[in-house]
Amino acid sequence: MNDFESARDEFKALKNMVYLNWAGLGPLPSSAKIAVEELLKNIYEWDNQYVSEAISSLQDGAKGQIAKLLNTSPDQIAITGTNTTQGIQTAFEAIRPKSGESIVTSDMQYVLTEAELQKWRDRGVDIKVVKNRDGVYDLNDFQRAVDKTTRAVFVDSVTWINGYKFDVPELSKIAHENNAFMITDSIQHLGQAKMDVEKSGADLVAGSAQKWLSDWLGLGFLYVRRKVIEELERPYYGYKNTEEPDGGWHTYFTLTDREQFPEFKFYSSDARKFEYGGSLYNMPGLTALEKTLKLINGIGMDRVQRRVLELKHELLEGLEALDFEVLEPYEEKHQSGITTFRMGVGRKKEMEVVEKLNSTGYAISYRAGGGLYGIRVSTHYVNNSDDIQSLLGALKSLRAKAGVKRN
Ligand SMILES: Cc1ncc(COP(=O)(O)O)c(C=O)c1O
């Protein structure tokens, strides 16, 4: 078995069905399932030693793997709850735009980060939206939108609608030339396409584990560039970003002469500054993520990305042979594992096709946004040619049933 086959072997879901919905949610591999079961057993039986060490060891393990994925250091990674939205909210609270300033974004942003932008719009921040042109973006449009009022440029570095991959280094240059921050929502990027955050120029990169990192238990994180950590606001105050008092928390909790409002010291020079809440993280999520990332990092993002695109190109060839309309950025540097297309039978029938496929063992989805819509298929490194050919065969026969006979 080669590396890809043995990684595939860990996914029971891929044995049960043709799973091509990683842009939706990602099933767990067996190594993650086993580790989470071990965690639950230790909590259930209360292994004191295990439990007292778990918080820091699980956190360090997962942060180390996230840092490896992003080619950065763990001290620039904050754990931000269970999802991307919390990372994005943290990023905006950290840059804290003021009334009269602007945010430049795209028209294919994920719907629920639009809610965060609405908050800032309600506070007098101008939200400028750059439109796609037939599924692709022109950097000149961003150049024109960014000016001295811009507090940040904010994009989904791979869009959830058609998988367009932004040239983040070039976009960062535009932002930085205007003293603006570069923020990305990279949940659709990380794990399937390479992102070297140090070279990307991005200042804040939010991600989460439930899709391409195949950890549906949920774990959100935020990369914060070291250079900007000190100048950003501390969004929250709590256990996680407060320095331990002399002698550690355990001693502190026993002090009878403890002051009611002491001068707490807060982390200020690493990404813990942006963490929030009490003592626990999502422990199952951390446990699973360390394992799922070991699989991806073990193979290496260069090879993972090549495999994802190889499968995508096989899919594209098949879609072209079926004469389907692909909403695709055909320049390879903008391509990702997400492929969106129309069958030429109308939106309603296409949605019925997706429903039919979902009920017969194919995981795919239908998405619309930025004036685009279509069937969304996402290919990951653990898929194979059989998955692609099986889907293409099913699409061909369902199109024939939908009454359009071509090829
Ligand atoms: C671009 C993008 N951002 C964020 C999310 C999910 O956000 P959260 O992790 O907060 O649920 C999705 C899910 O579809 C997405 O496509």
Burial of 390 from C-beta contacts in 10 A (0-12 / 13-18 / 19+) = middle
Residue 400's pLDDT is: 84
Dump pLDDT digits (tens) for 161-201.
999 999 999 999 999 999 999 999 999 999 999 999 999 99
Strands 77-79 and 102-106: unpaired
Which pLDDT band, with edges at 50, 70 and 90, does 377 fall under? very high
101 lines ligand 1 (CB under 6 A): no
Dump pLDDT digits (tens) for 73-90.
999 999 999 999 999 999
**Of all protein residues, whose CA lies closest to atom 16 belonging to ligand 1?**
160
336 lines ligand 1 (CB under 6 A): no
85 lines ligand 1 (CB under 6 A): yes
Q: Which of 233, 286, 305 is nearest to 64 (CA)?
A: 286
- 8-state DSSP, 131: P
Q: Kindly give the number of the ligand 1 atom that is closest to the alpha carbon of 208.
A: 9
Q: What is the distance in A from the centroid of ligand 1 to the CA of 283?
A: 21
Q: What is the distance in A from the centroid of ligand 1 to the CA of 122?
A: 22
Rounded (5°) CA angle 274-93-216: 60
- 8-state DSSP, 136: B
Distance from C-alpha of 56 to C-alpha of 76, rounded to nearest angstrom = 16
Q: What is the CA radius of gyration of the chain?
A: 23
**Of all protein residues, whose CA lies closest to atom 1 belonging to ligand 1?**
110
Dump pLDDT digits (tens) for 232-275.
999 999 999 999 998 999 899 999 999 899 999 999 999 999 99
| Best probe residue, ligand 1, of 184, 188, 216, 282 (max atoms within 8 Å of C-beta) | 188
Q: What is the distance in A from the centroid of ligand 1 to the CA of 391?
A: 25
Distance from C-alpha of 191 to C-alpha of 381, rounded to nearest angstrom = 9
The answer to whether 339 and 379 have CB atoms below 8 angstroms apart is yes
Q: Which domains does the chain have, with CATH numbers?
A: 3-27+300-401 (3.90.1150.10)
Is the pLDDT at 398 greater than 70, yes or no? yes
371: helix, strand or coil = coil
Q: Which of 175, 168, 105, 161 is nearest to 333 (CA)?
A: 168
Q: What is the distance in A from the centroid of ligand 1 to the CA of 376?
A: 15
84 lines ligand 1 (CB under 6 A): yes
- State the helix-helix crossing angle for 301-321 and 283-299, rounded to 10 degrees: 80
The answer to whether 150 and 102 have CB atoms below 8 angstroms apart is yes
- Residue spans of beta strands (DSSP E) within 100-203: 102-106, 126-130, 150-156, 181-185
User: Tokens 């259930």 — which residue?
Assistant: 44
Is the pLDDT at 34 greater than 50, yes or no? yes
Residue 403's pLDDT is: 64
- 8-state DSSP, 204: E
208 lines ligand 1 (CB under 6 A): yes
Q: What is the distance in A from the centroid of ligand 1 to the CA of 402?
A: 32
80 lines ligand 1 (CB under 6 A): no
Report H helices in 131-202: 139-145, 168-177, 197-200
Q: What is the distance in A from the centroid of ligand 1 to the CA of 210?
A: 9
186 lines ligand 1 (CB under 6 A): no
Q: Give the Å distances, CA to CA, from 236 to 187, 228, 266, 276.
A: 23, 17, 10, 6
Q: Which of 194, 209, 222, 157 is nearest to 25 (CA)?
A: 209
Dump pLDDT digits (tens) for 294-310.
999 999 999 999 999 99
Across residues 380-396, what is the average pLDDT? Answer: 98
In single-letter form, the type of residue at position 98 comes to K
Is the pLDDT at 330 greater than 80, yes or no? no
Non-local (6+) Cβ contacts of 92 within 8 A are 116, 119, 120, 152, 183
Which pLDDT band, with edges at 50, 70 and 90, does 407 fall under? very low
Dump pLDDT digits (tens) for 58-72.
999 999 999 999 999
Which pLDDT band, with edges at 50, 70 and 90, does 203 fall under? very high
185 lines ligand 1 (CB under 6 A): yes
H/E stretch holding 84 reads: helix 84-95
Distance from C-alpha of 216 to C-alpha of 13, rounded to nearest angstrom = 13
365 lines ligand 1 (CB under 6 A): no
Is the pLDDT at 216 greater than 90, yes or no? yes
Mean pLDDT of the chain: 95
- 8-state DSSP, 8: H
Q: What is the distance in A from the centroid of ligand 1 to the CA of 113?
A: 8
Q: What is the distance in A from the centroid of ligand 1 to the CA of 110?
A: 6
User: Tokens 């004036």 — which residue?
Assistant: 371
72 lines ligand 1 (CB under 6 A): no
